[in-house]
Structure 1
């Protein structure tokens, strides 16, 4: 995993972006999911406006940069399976909690793979990523429009998701490995915060 050295300006920009995400995370302790409407534009924005979905997309990109770009294909498989399952009315107990914890799982896979320092077991990492994405895609399937806008909505959601995950891969591969490690730690903590902050607020 050789990476080109980055400039201090690029690193500062990345850390600034992470700080902005952390601030948004603190300001939105609960996930905001609901039925989606509209066509391709609405679909494009939908996975980007839910903070848990956005963090997962960044995490998938980080895992693909750190382990293997093949993980993007595993993520696509998970997205199709979860989306179809959700569109057919399927759901899981504690789905919102699982979706948030999926962020921590993907981030943890990055740290685990880096600690092992050996050839990545793509079947293991790929299965984890596919399962994490499938939970989020299931929520999208439950929210997606079921009228004539359905196909264009899904196309928009796919394009938006690909831009975030693919863009994360391209950026991180131009930065030192330590940046990916720090991002993984931040995502692991962020996933836990998204998962348990709503519970903490309910207990207050």
Structure 2
């Protein structure tokens, strides 16, 4: 138990080094694969949602985790392509922050307590919104394919961290931490919506 607490504190400390919610507001320059790879790590909104989706995918018994992750990545790419074509929501930042609340509630509800199609819809819509924001903010100088590959790679890494965490917590019979993470993610989303 002490090891889990220490790891949680280290994770929380690392999150402190990220910029508040800047992954989607055009603060950081982007121009290709490396920038696409770093983009998801530059905002706590993206970090919390991607790890949260990985946690949820790893905790599902009715749907293979890889299928859920594949759904997210595919929807995110569709959103990014739409964003690159100029399809934008008026308040995409608020919508992206609202995904923290949705994913947080999904995790806080606990394993198998939420209707599976609803959970998958939350995953897909969250991915689409994050993708829209990524695509809309890709600078004209960036090469679209390499930028998307970078974002997909980084998102896959974050999903993998979440899935690994879920599997470890299940082995230690400490699934309650998934719900705690979900509650913290939802609260962070609400706080960011109010303050940003």
Give the TM interval when normalised to the shorter protein. 0.7 to 0.9
Q: 2:42 aligns with which of 20, 42, 49?
A: 49
**Who wins on radius of gyration, i.e. which is larger?**
1
Q: Tell me, which stretches of 5 or more residues in structure 2 are unaligned?
A: none
What is the root-mean-square deviation of aligned Cα atoms in Å? Answer: 2.4
Query: Cα deviations across residues 13-59 of structure 1 (Å, max 9, x unaligned)?
Result: 123323553x458x837776217432211110011102212221122
Matched position secondary structure for 2:111: helix
Cα gap change, 1:24 to 1:193, in 2 (>3 Å) = farther
Matched position secondary structure for 1:100: helix
Matches within 5 A, 1:171-186: 171-175=165-169, 176-186=174-184
For the 8 Å contact 1:37–1:145, the answer to whether it is kept is yes
Q: Give the drift of 1:115.
A: 7.5
Q: 1:112 aligns with which of 102, 106, 109?
A: 109
Question: Which residue is 1:196 aligned to?
Answer: 194
Counting matched residue pairs gives 187
For the 8 Å contact 1:62–1:184, the answer to whether it is kept is no
CA distance in 2, matches of 1:60, 1:38: 27
User: What is the TM-score normalised by the length of structure 1?
Assistant: 0.81
Structure 1 ranges of 4+ moved more than 4 A: 29-32
For the 8 Å contact 1:71–1:125, the answer to whether it is kept is no
Question: Which residue is 1:202 aligned to?
Answer: none
For the 8 Å contact 1:66–1:110, the answer to whether it is kept is no
User: What is the TM-score normalised by the length of structure 2?
Assistant: 0.84
